[in-house]
Structure 1
Amino acid sequence: MSVLKGMMALPYFDGSLFELCASLSEGGARGVLISGGSDKQGRVPLLHHIPDMIRARREFGLAMRVHVGLPDLETCEALAEIGIDGAMIDVIGHRDTIREVYHLDSTPEAYETALEHLECNNVPTVPHIILGLHFGRMLGEWRALEMIARHPPKILVLVILMPLNGTPMAITKPPSLDEIGKFFEAARKALPATPVMLGCARPLGQIKFDIDRLAIDAGLNGIAYPAEGIVEYARQKRLMPNFINACCGVMW
């Protein structure tokens, strides 16, 4: 399974992010999610593409969200100049996870510094917390939530470790439903005024339904790709589901 198959690659557009955005706009797209690999410092190399992003934003009016990795101050200032709609950043709260899973020589403090830089430049943030990121264990998630709560985001996205075939964690089990449910409740309480979303990355099968039900019970605001039966469960809870054709970090 490849997580890249659904993405459009810049080489097909001669490396021009503007031309890629132009093609999407012509096809009726309302927005883009810009992503890419990171360097050894965890930074997604965005600075080279800033002029294209500014031009695409101005000419096509596309909503623009960006996977920023672990951005430095210069990148945060550039994102502010563009006026992006959301900086998507994985926030990791334990040094061991940063080193052993992301293979970066960094610290949780560096992630909070990135949140500070984004906040100081008025860049709306959409932080993600990956439950079970440390080989299925809940290790730094609580600290990540504390850091995010000190810099209230536009939206908080929670996802669950999703084992992928062909990866070192292909057979890793996610956290228990009890741990997941308690974290959902804690996130809701920590950010009472912030939309909290359950993202698309989570295990499949019966556990997906169980996780989605916990999200509704905890008062989360949205679920990406809800499991079969979850919409009806929400209605039974006297909620009124609203369907949005966009990613988990978007609330039109």
Structure 2
Amino acid sequence: MQRLDALRQALVSLLPPEDHPLFARLWNAVSNRPLLLRRSRPHRTLAVSVTGPQCELRCSHCNGHYLEAMRPISALDSSDYETFRSFLISGGSDCSGRVPLSGHIDRILRMPEEAGLNLHVGVQGAESLLPLKGRPVTVSYDLAGDAETVREVYGLSRPVSEIEACYLELSRHFRVVPHLTLGLRGGAISGEPHVIDFLAANPPSALTFLVFRPTPNTPYADRLAPDIHDAVDIIADAARRLACPIHLGCMRPSGIYRRRLDVLAWAAGARVIVMPEHEFVRILAAHGIPVEEQTECCSLEYS
């Protein structure tokens, strides 16, 4: 008890006064999940794009920006298979919202059989991906909770029920880790609570939260990150209602926002955090909280 009280006081010191009441409320349930941190520093996972920097959809929050840092799948060579243990295979979406992985199945199958594969598929069912069954595949699937967000962010007229149906179909064939971006609609919380309701009725193996960050040269470049208390409340609700591990993924704002978010999200129940703030990690370790290391994408199965 004294150890936990000392930890609580040390973590509070990282937060501004306006966060203290929320932190105190979250702390009441902090022991409901194992008191540890899995720090993901995914330098053994290579991000690969099947479309290079090209994307037909040009979503409002990304506009193809994040594809630019990915290795084109055509540029992979044997040295990559020696350097990296796993591959995040993504790409730009076509006009229906689908990442066109099907045209690259043969190339993916030529990768080492033991290599972990994290597939970003966009909105599609399982049929074209079935040749990959038997490989160590995780599908990362983005969920949105309302039609307005789907239309405004992705430019799609597809109903939420259709996006959810694709998720359920994929889940029948692969390990699927749903991803939920808090504030995806230009920083506004919109359909996120519906996604938690959906997942409570269809329990996942893990849930990865991302947090909208304004990105230069996108339609949302001048927007603000979501209210941090609103975002953390959704993480806490998920931690209460879902038995699975809760992840805080790589896409989130930097600076002071990130420090506050990491501390509050951990208190809310997120025990897997990608590149967590250094002082936060130091405090956990100094107070006897185990810090496990993961060198691959947080959504991949941990061993």
Q: Is the 8 A contact 2:115 2:136 kept in 1?
A: no
Report the CA distance between 1:168 and its aligned residue: 1.5
How many pairs does the alignment contain?
239
Aligned partner of 1:104 in structure 2 is 156
Aligned partner of 2:87 in structure 1 is 32
Distance in 2, Cα, partners of 1:142 & 1:84: 31
Query: Which has the larger displacement, 223-232 or 207-216?
Result: 223-232
Matches for 1:128-143 after TM superposition, within 5 Å: 128-143=179-194
Aligned partner of 1:15 in structure 2 is none
Which protein shows a greater Rg?
2
Deviation by residue 1:87-135 (Cα, 9 ceiling, x = unmatched): 01110011001011111121111121012101222x0011110000111
Q: Is the 8 A contact 1:92 1:98 kept in 2?
A: yes
Matches for 1:40-79 after TM superposition, within 5 Å: 40-58=95-113, 61-79=114-132
4+ long deviations beyond 4 Å:
none
Given the alignment of the two structures, is residue 206 of structure 1 paired with residue 256 of structure 2, yes or no?
yes
Which residue, 168, 171, 181 being the options, matches 1:116?
168
TM-score by length of 2: 0.73
SS in 1 for 2:224: coil
Q: Is the 8 A contact 1:67 1:89 kept in 2?
A: yes
- Identity level (%): 31
Deviation by residue 1:64-85 (Cα, 9 ceiling, x = unmatched): 1100101124235344x25342
Given the alignment of the two structures, is residue 182 of structure 1 paired with residue 233 of structure 2, yes or no?
yes
Distance 1:107 1:237, change over 3 A: farther
Given the alignment of the two structures, is residue 197 of structure 1 paired with residue 247 of structure 2, yes or no?
yes
Distance in 2, Cα, partners of 1:149 & 1:44: 27
Deviation by residue 1:157-185 (Cα, 9 ceiling, x = unmatched): 10100111111111211221221221111
Q: Is the 8 A contact 1:32 1:62 kept in 2?
A: yes
Q: Which runs of 5+ in 1 are unaligned?
A: 13-19
Q: Is the 8 A contact 1:216 1:234 kept in 2?
A: no
AA in 1 matched with 2:141 = I
Alignment RMSD? 2.0
Aligned partner of 2:204 in structure 1 is 153
Distance 1:197 1:168, change over 3 A: same
**Structure with greater contact order relative to length (CA < 8 Å, sep ≥ 6):** 2
Aligned partner of 2:220 in structure 1 is 169
Whose strand fraction is larger, Structure 1's or Structure 2's?
Answer: 2
Q: Is the 8 A contact 2:125 2:170 kept in 1?
A: no
Distance in 2, Cα, partners of 1:22 & 1:149: 42
SS in 1 for 2:284: helix
Distance in 2, Cα, partners of 1:245 & 1:146: 31
Given the alignment of the two structures, is residue 232 of structure 1 paired with residue 232 of structure 2, yes or no?
no
Distance in 1, Cα, partners of 2:84 & 2:154: 32
TM-score by length of 1: 0.87
Report the CA distance between 1:236 and its aligned residue: 5.9
Aligned partner of 1:216 in structure 2 is 266
